[in-house]
Amino acid sequence: MTEKLYLENPYLREISAKIVKKEYSNNKFYLTLNRTIFYPHMSGGQPKDTGTIDGVKVIDVYEKNNEIIHVVEENIKKDKVHLSLDWNTRFDHMQQHTGQHILSAAIAKLFNAKTVGFYIGKEYTYIDVTLSNLEKKDIEWIERYANEIVFSNFNIKKYVINEEDIHKLPLRKKPSVKKNIRIVEIDGIDYSPCAGTHHTSTGEVGMIKIKKWDRYKDNTRIEFICGNRALKDYTWKNYYINEISNLLSLKDKDTLKGVKRIYDENKKLLKEVKEMKEELLKYTSEKLINMSKDYNSFKISNNIFTDIDFKDMRYMASIILNNYDNIILIWGLKNENKAQILLGKSKNIKIDIKEIFNNIIDIIDGRGGGSPYLVQGGGENIENLSICMQSGLRLIQTQLNAQ
């Protein structure tokens, strides 16, 4: 059994150890040591530690049958080795995990709610709690209470009890093991079974900042950050707020009002632009109808566009086909990277535009599809767009002649 020094002293950064077992598989070496300072991956929701063994990077750490397995990609030939921990990673995990205990304790005391999920990621940490419909004032209350625990710098103790002693402590949750139950206690405030690495006092967490909260299944997921992560988050947000306030010539506290005002003005302008654009497209649609060529008792609009968005071209097609009978559209759009075609017909015309489309789309090395009344597609062979359109026009005329 590996001696887990990280449980006894989470502040150890370097130690010597002995390799007691080595296995090789899938181009990796799996090392078991007599003792370790490396915390295994996702044991109780906490990510693994990072660092080196004799200068060789440890790429994974996990627990198996009470042994801690260290995975490296280079062979370490010595039996006695030197372990060096990435302290920044360890300290970050301690801040997030200890912060989680404090936050969960605050929620339990204020709302009598349980923490049923916990995750530490690289960018954020979250807990799932048995609460619903949390409001802003509730979150602010939780955050303020949790940070009062942090700033009070309470002692944090870690000790092991047996199953028969569980009833003596007001545990926040049931332990997952029945013997050697490790308890993390925050100075009589919170008692929780946990095998993670934690600070010796709450003040080392720095601060706890709740970033957002959302309903998750029947619970609420609360995303938060602690310590150095909170400082980093505040730093870039403060910079952004200052930059925005300078751009708007407003005080930092007034930036939200300023942005909302600009947003509303822009929304109004976009609506006006959209309405004007729709009117322009309607006018252009009527112009295209007038320019269409008569064929038998039908009108055929055959055009290649170069200065229009395809969605606008489709919008004009829908205007024409929904409001006019006896008209057929064969339109193309050419840009730098792609050739696109659109075929449409009024509902009273009995030709198969999907069949025509399928017969010509390969000319531009394209693909597409649609309904019996409107099909569209695109391809990369821009040079063949005119040939594709000419072929489509001939097939349309052939079907019309057969009626």
DSSP code per residue over 177-201: -SSSEEEEEETTTEEEE--S---SB
Q: Is 104 exposed, middle or buried (0-12, 13-18, 19+ CB in 10 A)?
A: buried
356 CB-side CA count, 13 A: 31
Per-residue model confidence (pLDDT) at position 2: 95
Domains of the chain: 3-85 (2.40.30.130), 90-236 (3.30.980.10), 275-402 (3.10.310.40)
Q: What is the pLDDT tens value at each position of the chain, 403 positions in all?
A: 999 999 999 999 999 999 999 999 999 999 999 999 999 987 667 899 999 999 999 999 999 998 999 999 999 999 999 999 999 999 999 999 999 999 999 999 999 999 999 999 998 899 999 999 899 999 999 999 999 999 999 999 999 999 999 999 999 999 988 899 999 999 999 999 999 999 999 999 999 999 999 999 999 999 999 999 999 999 999 999 999 999 999 999 999 999 999 999 999 999 999 999 999 999 999 999 999 999 999 999 999 999 899 999 999 999 999 999 999 999 999 988 899 999 999 999 999 999 999 999 999 999 999 999 999 999 999 999 999 999 999 999 999 998 7
What is the three-state SS of 270-322? HHHHHHHHHHHHHHHHHHHHHHCEEECCEEEEEEEECCCCHHHHHHHHHHHHH
Distance CA 158, CA 162 (A): 14
Helix (H, G, I), strand (E, B) or coil at 134: coil
Q: Is 317 exposed, middle or buried (0-12, 13-18, 19+ CB in 10 A)?
A: buried
Distance CA 272, CA 265 (A): 11
How many Å is the maximal CA-CA distance in the chain?
A: 97
Per-residue model confidence (pLDDT) at position 45: 78
Q: Give me the residue label for tokens 């006695």.
A: 80
Per-residue model confidence (pLDDT) at position 44: 64
DSSP code per residue over 53-90: ETTEEEEEEEEETTEEEEEESS----SEEEEEE-HHHH
Helix (H, G, I), strand (E, B) or coil at 4: strand
State the DSSP code for 1.
-
331 and 321 Cβ atoms separated by less than 8 Å: no
Distance CA 208, CA 225 (A): 6
The closest of 171, 115, 170, 172 to 142, measured between CA atoms, is: 115
125 and 258 Cβ atoms separated by less than 8 Å: no
